[in-house]
Amino acid sequence: MARISVERTHSLGLEAAREKAQPLVDKLAGQYGLTPNWAGDTVKLKRSGVNGTLEIGEKTIKVDVELGLLMSPMSGMIQSEIERSLDKALA
């Protein structure tokens, strides 16, 4: 089992950060077959073998993902994709 944790700071404010995070959520959902479930400023991303959470704060966006045994070998690639997409969204 592998864990991925990526956190980035921003100065966008909560509403703008939500708007910037939405394309990342959509990309992860489409690319990895995840089902997003929004609850306030947190979105849970799930599928068999993957549990993830994206939390939007006033000054940070944090992504935590737990990969099951079959997805663990892809952890480096998934982490790089999350980092790249998050950096692009916040640029």
pLDDT digit string, tens, across residues 15-62: 999 998 898 899 889 988 999 999 999 999 999 999 999 999 999 999
Q: Please give the pLDDT value at position 24.
A: 85
Identify the CATH number of the domain in which residue 76 sits. Answer: 3.30.310.50
pLDDT digit string, tens, across residues 61-82: 999 999 999 989 999 999 998 9
Into how many domains does the chain fold? Answer: 1
pTM for this prediction: 0.88
Structural domain range at position 50: 2-90
CA separation (Å) from 66 to 10, 40, 59, 63?
24, 21, 23, 10
